[in-house]
Amino acid sequence: MKTVKTTFQIEHRLHARLKAMAGRLGVNARDLVAEGIELALARYEGAGDQQELAARAKAARERLRAGYFDGPPDLSETYETRLLVAAEPVSPYKP
Three-state SS at 27: coil
pTM score, whole prediction: 0.49
How many distinct helices (H) and strands (E) make up the chain?
Answer: 4, 0
Asked whether residue 38 is domain-assigned, the answer is: yes
Same-domain status, 41 and 18? yes
- pLDDT tens-digit series, residues 14-35: 999 999 999 999 999 999 999 9
Three-state SS at 49: helix
* Domain assignment of residue 5, given as a range: 1-45
Number of domains comprising the chain = 2
Residue 19, C-beta contacts closer than 8 angstroms, at least 6 positions apart: 29
Asked whether residue 19 is domain-assigned, the answer is: yes
- pLDDT tens-digit series, residues 61-83: 887 777 665 555 555 555 556 66
Q: For residue 5, what pLDDT is reported?
A: 92
What's the CATH code of the domain at 31? 1.10.1220.10
